[in-house]
């Protein structure tokens, strides 16, 4: 028999069905129908049908006697025999199941039958309906398009086999095996076994997840402390400089991202190169990759520093048309960005520590600039300086230069030792 297996949806509930082309009729999984009518889970519906089947058999119900069994995909993903019924049999069985959904379900059965006739008359309807069904099941559009494309290719292949006189069944299976061997190097059965992941394969292992978390924690600290830093700047500037200073800081924060984000991108792009060659013990390539990355970062930050010192008003004017705020922000930008040239060294060396598996050192350096230096300086410097607003803004370049100097010295001191360490 030529069969087409699929899943239909009734009120977002799945019903396994199979179309028998020779008999031109649908077969429905009885357990799925019971689950729909009783609003129960699969196992509960299975038990319900078992009891109902036994009762109807004792009563001599011919519908139960004539029920067939077909292999369908079970909840565990395997093909298992399950009781099925055609539309006529199903309508009789529904009468034995008290349910408010009985009448809507009968209408749905009629709709499914009508859809099949429409699809036979116009194959395009089949494609559109399949697309809609897959989307309802939660698959992405990209996945659905790929799936439909694979179905199209498979159909073209099987049509060619039919024209060549290839018999369905064993000969189809032999050819499918040969195709699978060509692209996967194993038979279809072997490939299924290869992809059969078990629960134990998904368990997190401490010796693997621990180092992964360690390498990511420094980046987490850098990003998570941004909110604390922002609150520190805002509270101090509001106290000493008022709304004008807070407004300037808002613009400065956005402007600084124009410099820091490209730096992060450069270093994140260099990380896998450094890590790969470090793992391969190719120390020369590690050094070459690092110094190229360092050169690019330093050149970029130095150019950025020069622009900020010469024409800060351009960046201020990008965010506001208020002349007073532009003038104030330009003054503040020159102070805040005075140490930005050092960030090329800071970020490059810190990110490279992560690439070399030095999670603890990277974490310390991530904390050094913001938590240890910058945030305390925001509150300490105004105590000792007459111009309080200037003191708040100058905390940034002071912490940048100190943190960059410490990070660079530590990295250069440890670099060769890390490369020579046994691994």
Instruction: Among 40-44, 158-162, 173-177, 258-262, name the most confident range.
Output: 258-262
User: Between vectors from CA 154 to CA 153 and to CA 159, what angle results, nearest 5°?
Assistant: 100
Q: Are residues 212 and 113 in the same domain?
A: no
* Domain assignment present for 358: yes
Sign of CA dihedral 232, 233, 235, 236: positive
Q: pLDDT at residue 212 above 70?
A: no
Q: Above 70 in pLDDT, residue 314?
A: yes
pLDDT > 70: percent of the chain = 77
- Looking at the fold, whether 409 and 307 belong to one and the same domain comes out as yes
Residue 1 binned pLDDT confidence (cut-offs 50, 70, 90): very low
Same domain, yes or no, for 223 and 107? no
116 with 215, same domain: the answer is no
Mean pLDDT, to the nearest integer, of 273-287?
87
Mean pLDDT score, 264-281: 86
Question: Is the model's pLDDT at 181 over the cut of 80?
Answer: no
99 with 220, same domain?
Answer: no
Residues 256 and 386 in one domain: yes
Mean pLDDT of 165-193: 71
Confidence at residue 3, expressed as pLDDT on a 0 to 100 scale: 47
The confidence score (pLDDT) of residue 115 equals 56
pLDDT score, position 142: 75
Q: What is the mean pLDDT of the chain?
A: 79
pLDDT in tens, 39-92: 888 888 888 888 888 888 777 776 666 677 777 877 777 788 888 888 777 777
Burial class of residue 141 in the structure, from the number of CB atoms within 10 Å of its CB (0-12 exposed, 13-18 middle, 19+ buried): exposed
CA distance 128 to 51: 39
129 in a domain, yes or no?
Answer: no
| Burial letters 197-209, b for 16+ CB under 10 A, else e | eeeeeeeeeeeee
Identify the residue with better confidence: 215 or 149: 149
Q: Does residue 240 register a pLDDT over 50? A: yes
Say which residue, 11 or 285, is predicted with more confidence: 285
| 368 domain-assigned | yes
Contacts of 386 (CB under 8 A, 6+ apart): none
Q: Which of 121, 140, 172 represents a domain boundary (last residue)?
A: 121
Q: Which of 155-164, 250-259, 325-334, 346-355 is predicted with the least confidence, judged by mean pLDDT?
A: 155-164
Percent of the chain past pLDDT 90, that is, above it, reads: 16
| 324-352: pLDDT as tens digits | 988 999 999 999 999 999 998 988 888 88
Domain with 63, as residue range(s), is 1-121
Is 173 within the bounds of a domain? no
**100-110: pLDDT as tens digits:** 877 877 777 76
- Residue 2 pLDDT > 50: no
Q: What is the pLDDT of residue 192?
A: 64
Together in a domain, 285 and 398: yes
Residues 98 and 221 occupy one common structural domain? no
Q: Give the chain's domain count.
A: 2
Please tell me the distance from the alpha carbon of residue 341 to that of residue 309, in angstroms, as a whole number.
Answer: 11
Which domain-ending residue is among 121, 149, 166? Answer: 121
The C-alpha atoms of residue 195 and residue 204 are separated, in whole angstroms, by: 19
**Beta carbons within 8 Å of 317's beta carbon, 6+ residues apart:** 326
| pLDDT-derived band at 370, boundaries 50, 70, 90 | confident
Residue 310 has a pLDDT of 92
Give me the pLDDT at residue 121, please: 42
Q: Is 109 in the same domain as 217?
A: no
Are 419 and 283 spatial neighbours (Cβ–Cβ below 8 Å)?
A: yes
Establish if 182 belongs to a structural domain. no
Where does a domain end: 121, 141, 173? Answer: 121
Q: Which of 71-75, 79-83, 113-117, 302-306 has the highest mean pLDDT?
A: 302-306
Looking at the structure, do residues 265 and 374 belong to the same domain, yes or no? yes
For residue 99, is it within any domain? yes
Whether residue 231 has pLDDT greater than 70: yes
Task: Assess whether 116 and 235 both reside in one domain.
Answer: no
Q: Is residue 5 one of the residues assigned to a domain?
A: yes
Instruction: Please tell me whether residues 117 and 261 are part of one structural domain.
Output: no
Write the DSSP symbol of residue 69.
Answer: E
Q: Give a yes or no: residue 163 inside a domain.
A: no
**169 token code pair:** 């069944």
pTM over 0.75: no
């Amino acid at each position: 028999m030529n069969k087409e297996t699929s899943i239909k949806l009734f009120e977002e509930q799945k019903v396994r069905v199979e179309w028998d082309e020779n008999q031109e009729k649908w077969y429905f999984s009885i357990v799925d129908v019971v689950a729909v009518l009783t609003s129960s889970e699969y196992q509960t519906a299975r038990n319900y049908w078992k009891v109902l089947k036994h009762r109807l058999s004792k009563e001599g119900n011919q519908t139960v006697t004539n029920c067939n069994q077909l292999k369908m995909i079970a909840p565990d993903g395997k093909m298992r025999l399950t009781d099925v019924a055609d539309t006529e049999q199903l309508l009789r069985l529904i009468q034995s199941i008290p349910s408010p959904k009985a009448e809507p379900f009968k209408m749905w059965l009629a709709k499914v039958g009508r859809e099949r006739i429409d699809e036979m008359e116009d194959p395009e309807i089949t494609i559109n309906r399949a697309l809609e069904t897959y989307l309802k099941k939660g698959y992405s559009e990209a996945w659905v398009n790929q799936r439909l494309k694979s179905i199209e290719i498979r159909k073209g292949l099987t049509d060619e086999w039919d024209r060549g006189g290839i018999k369905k069944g064993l000969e189809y299976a032999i050819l499918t095996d040969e195709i699978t061997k060509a692209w996967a190097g194993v038979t279809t059965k072997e490939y299924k076994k290869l992809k059969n992941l078990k629960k134990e394969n998904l368990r997190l292992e401490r010796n693997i997840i621990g180092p992964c978390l360690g390498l990511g924690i420094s980046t987490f600290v850098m990003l998570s402390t941004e909110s604390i830093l922002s609150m520190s700047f805002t509270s101090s500037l509001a106290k000493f400089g008022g709304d004008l200073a807070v407004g300037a800081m808002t613009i400065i924060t956005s402007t600084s991202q124009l410099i820091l984000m490209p730096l992060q991108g450069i270093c994140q792009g260099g990380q896998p190169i450094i890590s790969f060659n470090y793992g391969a013990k190719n120390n020369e390539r590690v050094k070459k990759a690092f110094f190229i990355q360092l050169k690019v970062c330093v050149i970029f930050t130095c150019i950025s520093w020069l622009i900020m010192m010469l024409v800060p008003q351009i960046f201020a004017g990008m965010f506001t048309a208020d002349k007073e705020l532009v003038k104030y922000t330009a003054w503040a930008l020159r102070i805040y960005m005075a140490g930005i040239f050092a960030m090329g060294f800071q970020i490059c060396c810190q990110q490279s520590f992560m690439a070399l598996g030095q999670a603890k050192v990277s974490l310390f350096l991530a904390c050094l600039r913001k938590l240890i230096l910058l945030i305390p300086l925001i509150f300490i410097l105004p105590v000792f300086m007459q111009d309080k607003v200037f003191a708040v803004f100058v905390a940034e370049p002071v912490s940048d230069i100190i943190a960059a100097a410490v990070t660079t010295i530590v990295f250069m001191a440890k670099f060769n030792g890390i490369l020579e360490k046994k691994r």
